[in-house]
Structure 1
Amino acid sequence: MLPSNKRTKTGVLRHRGPQWGAASAALAGLLLATTGCGSDQAVPESAAPPVPEDLECFSGSLTGAGSSAQENAMTTWIAGYQSACEDSRVYYNSIGSGGGRSQFIDGAVAFAGTDAAMDPEENADARERCGGSNVLNLPAYVVPIAVVYKLEGVESLNLPPETLAKIFNQEITRWNDPEIAEANPDADLPDMRITPVNRSDDSGTTENFTNYLNAVAPEAWPHEPSGQWPIVPIESAQGSSGIADTVGRAQGSISYVEMSHAHGLPKANIGVGGEFVEISSEAAAQVVANSPQREENASEYDLALDLEYDTTEAGSYPLVLVSYEVVCQDYPDDSQAEKVKAFLRYVVSPEGQSAASEETGSAPVNDDLRAKLLESISAIS
């Protein structure tokens, strides 16, 4: 039996009741049968993620689309929200960041998930659908990007930034190349062709990865950062799940993927300063905490960050993905604005962030960033 809901003066339902246990992998199977999220089936209370006691619920449906890196986190958030809010339905289609931004600009969805904040040109395109107001980029999901590989007999792999860039620029083509061997003196590297795998779709993960390569090894990676892969690929796959599946099947392959989609594949250690840093949410969070807000943000409530990919701070893992929820500051429809605000307040809550972290290995936003996020969400009208 779900807890009762109480309607507030704003017309948004406010949930008051107990919290539930942590999300589980089985929950994702219950809620996500396809690439889209959202379900008409009730999720058992024993499996549902925790929710705040003052959770706000809405009646009706809310639609979003975009980042496949957010797919597992969004599954968890939707499960927690819908379990507590029996009259609410949230749908999210993980079509990739570029597709999500396009659908948002076209007015097809109420919010977009994207691993690259909307740029000023996209903001200008979205002003009409936002009733003349600006777009807000809200960093709600922070997770490292894993460099995954499949190489029999090699359990651990160190990759300096320049070496990594040359691999993906197809300059280093064999696994026993001297540059790789120098960084891995104890590894039995085979004389095997390297198969770099990139995203085939317009991808925020690709944009973050190419931003990183361009920042840390500009001579080895002379291409402008982009969500579209800049050179003719050797192998490509669509979406985060497609990348993981392709690498998992192909001996000698290497790619980049949001950590929760790594699916047990080995992950390379990345060179930072004079050390090699193992991937972790804590090491990624360290980079985000030290990164300033983007100078060209169009509103004080736009929280897009300028990530310091080239940090040399000890213990930092700079190959990080900050995934945003993109919303209008002002919606033409009051009801849509209230639904977006209610759902996003749960997403950034300690309970929502903790649930996503347990499922995906993401780094929960810290208290300072949460306060800014709640201020921006409150500014939505």
Structure 2
Amino acid sequence: MKTKQHGAVVGLIAAGALLLTACGSDNNTGPGGSTSGATASGVAVECGGKTKLNAEGSSAQKNAIDTFIQAYKAKCSGADLAYNPSGSGAGVKNFNAGQVDFGGSDSALSKDKGEVEAAAKRCATNPAWHLPLVFGPVAIGYKLDGVKDLVLDGDVTAKIFNGTVKKWNDPAIKALNSGATLPDKDIKVVYRSDESGTTDNFQKYLKIASKGSWTQGDGKQFKGGVGEGKEKSAGVAQATGSVDGAITYVELSFAQDNQLSLAKIDAGQGPVELTNETVGKAIDGAKIKGEGNDLVLDLDSIYGTTAAGSYPLLLATYEIVCSKGYDADTAKAVKAFLTVAATDGQAGLADAGYAPLPKAFQDKLLTAIKAIA
């Protein structure tokens, strides 16, 4: 995800503005106080408690957290949060060690690694909950002269990124793009050379959506065995934008910054363009495999969706919090921050390249946040 705001996502901005509108600081109180004020969407926020929260973790959500912080400070006078984008591993480690009030992670706590048990110990023998608060669409960005309207599916995308499909006029691509003039040109794959949550999610998508064509596995290192590696999202987007015939996977705002064309994805119900609405449909259709208010996502339900109008290629990040076990001041502030983040804070997300939460999913999060004790 990007660490600076991007203003060109006009369609997403409009959709985000329709979903939620930022509000001012009505009914605010000072540190330690409380309020019966509400967010722009009418959700009650009780400010107060700990005046400065600390959180750490996923760099993918850094720009979203910055947006949330501004909304939190506007709603709760004197309140603040410091976020260190040190990476998911450090976020989990330091949350479990009690050094931060909540952690940000691209993936759920691992029982096999002892993270679930360590989190429960940190939370005074209470389970930690996963709150998927930030979703970012991942684009399949490409540069191909004369081709601005390209359709791909999971199978063909997997074959491109593992080197099975090598030419832009391959019959497999032609079959998805009837009537298009595709050049007899080599496909030049560009991938992340550094460890990346985006790579991990992209490969998980390929594993599910390709229905057997992607056998290389997942993980934060690209395993396709083909193409040219570049560091960071900016690196892959710039490299793709500079070479005709290139293709990559990258967060939306970077693709737009480099004027990449964006492939539509056909999951069996026709081509789907990447928009706020189509991403929202995918989020709405996501299944929860966690219990109760522990909202661990079943990523297969997103990546493998065949629902009409759903764009399935997303990156989700969690806020990992104690269900119980905070002191009273910390619990109050954590709940206030998360409530504002899930409501007023959503208004600025589209401008930063993220997807605002659809209403039904927002309601699930608010129910969980309210239950934190």
User: Which TM-score band (shorter chain)?
Assistant: 0.7 to 0.9
What residue number does 1:175 align with?
168
Pick one of 300, 304, 310 that aligns with 1:316. 310
Distance 1:62 1:263, change over 3 A: farther
- Give TM-score scaled by structure 2 length: 0.78
SS at match of 1:262: helix
Unaligned regions of 5+ residues in structure 2, if any?
1-23
Confirm or deny that 1:254 pairs with 2:247. Answer: yes
Query: How far 1:125 moved relative to its partner?
Result: 3.5
What residue number does 1:146 align with?
139
Confirm or deny that 1:189 pairs with 2:183. Answer: yes
Contact 1:6 1:15 (C-alpha < 8 Å) held by counterparts: no
Q: Distance in 2 between matches of 1:109 and 1:326?
A: 11
Distance 1:18 1:104, change over 3 A: closer
What residue number does 2:340 align with?
346
Q: Distance in 2 between matches of 1:207 and 1:69?
A: 12
Query: How far 1:187 moved relative to its partner?
Result: 3.5
Query: How far 1:228 moved relative to its partner?
Result: 3.9
Confirm or deny that 1:217 pairs with 2:210. Answer: yes
Confirm or deny that 1:130 pairs with 2:123. Answer: yes
Alignment size in residue pairs: 343
Confirm or deny that 1:304 pairs with 2:296. Answer: yes
Pick one of 151, 157, 173 that aligns with 2:150. 157
Pick one of 344, 349, 356 that aligns with 1:356. 349
Give, as a single letter, the amino acid of the residue that structure 2 aligns with 1:235: E
Give, as a single letter, the amino acid of the residue that structure 2 aligns with 1:325: E
Query: How far 1:371 moved relative to its partner?
Result: 3.2
What residue number does 1:200 align with?
194
Shifted more, 214-223 versus 113-122: the winner is 113-122
SS at match of 2:316: strand
Confirm or deny that 1:68 pairs with 2:63. Answer: no
- Post-superposition Cα deviations, 1:238-264, rounded to whole Å, max 9, x if no partner, equal 554454344344544322233344334
SS at match of 2:155: helix
Pick one of 352, 371, 374 that aligns with 2:363. 371
Distance 1:74 1:279, change over 3 A: same
Give, as a single letter, the amino acid of the residue that structure 2 aligns with 1:319: L
Shifted more, 115-124 versus 212-221: the winner is 115-124
Give, as a single letter, the amino acid of the residue that structure 1 aligns with 2:284: A
Distance 1:332 1:341, change over 3 A: closer
Q: Distance in 1 between matches of 2:99 and 2:29?
A: 30
Query: How far 1:69 moved relative to its partner?
Result: 3.3
Shifted more, 178-187 versus 274-283: the winner is 178-187
Give, as a single letter, the amino acid of the residue that structure 2 aligns with 1:347: A
Shifted more, 208-217 versus 88-97: the winner is 88-97
**Deviation beyond 6 Å, 4+ runs, structure 1:** 1-4, 50-53
Q: Distance in 2 between matches of 1:54 and 1:332?
A: 18
Q: Distance in 2 between matches of 1:3 and 1:366?
A: 23
Distance 1:190 1:273, change over 3 A: same
Give, as a single letter, the amino acid of the residue that structure 2 aligns with 1:194: K
Pick one of 66, 81, 95 that aligns with 2:72. 81
Q: Distance in 2 between matches of 1:200 and 1:233?
A: 15
Query: How far 1:74 moved relative to its partner?
Result: 2.0
What residue number does 1:6 align with?
29
Distance 1:153 1:108, change over 3 A: farther
Q: Distance in 1 between matches of 2:372 and 2:350?
A: 26
Distance 1:124 1:258, change over 3 A: farther
Contact 2:163 2:224 (C-alpha < 8 Å) held by counterparts: no
Shifted more, 301-310 versus 56-65: the winner is 56-65
Contact 1:244 1:262 (C-alpha < 8 Å) held by counterparts: yes
Give, as a single letter, the amino acid of the residue that structure 1 aligns with 2:358: V
Contact 2:162 2:225 (C-alpha < 8 Å) held by counterparts: no
Q: Distance in 2 between matches of 1:53 and 1:274?
A: 40
Confirm or deny that 1:325 pairs with 2:325. Answer: no
Give, as a single letter, the amino acid of the residue that structure 1 aligns with 2:60: A
Query: How far 1:284 moved relative to its partner?
Result: 2.2
Bigger RCO of structures 1 and 2 (CA < 8 A, at least 6 apart):
2
Q: Distance in 2 between matches of 1:261 and 1:15?
A: 40
Contact 1:68 1:240 (C-alpha < 8 Å) held by counterparts: no
Q: Distance in 2 between matches of 1:216 and 1:18?
A: 38
Residue identity (%): 33
What residue number does 1:104 align with?
95
Q: Distance in 2 between matches of 1:285 and 1:4?
A: 31
Query: How far 1:306 moved relative to its partner?
Result: 1.4
Query: How far 1:189 moved relative to its partner?
Result: 2.8
Q: Distance in 2 between matches of 1:327 and 1:312?
A: 32
Confirm or deny that 1:292 pairs with 2:287. Answer: yes
Unaligned regions of 5+ residues in structure 1, if any?
20-49
